[in-house]
Amino acid sequence: MLTVEAITSAYGRINVLHEVWLEVKAGEIVALVGSNGAGKTTLLRTLSGVQPARSGRIVFEGEAIERLEPHQRVVRGISQSPEGRQVFGPLSVEDNLRLGAYRRQDAGMRARLDHVFALFPVLAEKRRIAAMSLSGGQQQMLAIGRALMAAPKLLLLDEPSLGLAPLLVDQILAAVRALQAEGITVLLVEQNASAALAIADRGYVLETGRVVMEGSGAALLNDPKVRTAYLGL
């Protein structure tokens, strides 16, 4: 589904990604793990088009998309839930969700809204209150739901467990697995490497903007180097 070929990206003169190669197959959950500053968020932003690629190729379903604008990538089926949630605080929960479908104002919007409410029932209960009134976990659910309103084929999740209590982390990751069961492909960036690799089909380890390891989620979870560097074991 997605192939990243020697992608580099920079902020000004500072290179952050250095010829990154990775692949995401249809129907997979692929985890991208690494320490703070490794370039994980920059990679997702580059895939969604928010951060420009300096060189390399991004191929999605056979089409090179590295020069497309972010909204064009959304139309093709790539949607991102950003780090830090970034909900529109003064707007209601439902208005936040509807904004996620701004490129897909079609007859399917009602069904997508119902789907998000079924996945996260608390959002249905709070649909008319301001997003700023939600707890951190509920705002994370809203951010994921907003991304789902674009009917993505590939969902980019950036640190969905950040700052959440363990019970909420379990709920969010259970929702990710449910989305995979529905046929949505997921590229998951997580500093919580153990949680991410436990649900991932495959994973990549990023260090200082370079992929240094890859393998199945189980293999990386049990690799001594990964366990020492990222799992605190």
- Output Rg (C-alpha) for the chain, integer angstroms: 17
pLDDT tens track for 28-76 = 999 999 988 899 999 999 999 999 999 999 999 999 999 999 999 999 9
Instruction: Report the side by side order of strands in the sheet with 14-24.
Output: 14-24, 2-11, 55-60, 63-64
Which positions ≥6 away from 154 have C-beta within 8 Å? Answer: 1, 2, 24, 60, 77, 78, 79, 184, 185, 186, 187
Closest among 124, 128, 196, 194 to 157, alpha carbons compared: 196
pLDDT at 226 over 70: yes
Q: Is residue 137 part of a domain?
A: no
Tokens of 120: 């996260």
pLDDT tens track for 183-210 = 999 999 987 889 999 999 999 999 999 9
| Residue 62, domain CATH | 3.40.50.300
Q: Is residue 111 part of a domain?
A: no
pLDDT tens track for 90-138 = 999 999 999 998 766 666 788 999 999 999 999 999 999 999 999 999 9
Q: Is residue 186 part of a domain?
A: yes
Q: Is residue 104 part of a domain?
A: no
Nearest 5°: CA angle at 131, between 128 and 125? 40
Which positions ≥6 away from 177 have C-beta within 8 Å? Answer: 29, 199
Q: Which domain holds residue 201?
A: 2-87+151-229
Q: Is residue 101 part of a domain?
A: no
What total of structural domains would you count in the chain?
A: 1
Q: Is residue 134 part of a domain?
A: no
Are 214 and 224 a contacting pair, CB within 8 Å? no
Any alpha helices (H) in the chain, and if so which ranges?
A: 40-48, 70-76, 93-100, 109-119, 121-125, 136-148, 166-181, 193-199, 217-221, 224-229
Distance of CA 56 to the CA centre of its chain: 21
Q: Is residue 144 part of a domain?
A: no
d(CA 77, CA 68): 13
Are 150 and 79 a contacting pair, CB within 8 Å? yes
Q: Is residue 99 part of a domain?
A: no
What is the DSSP annotation of 25-75?
Answer: -TT-EEEEE--TTSSHHHHHHHHHTSS--SEEEEEETTEE-TTS-HHHHHH
**233 versus 7: which is more confidently predicted?**
7
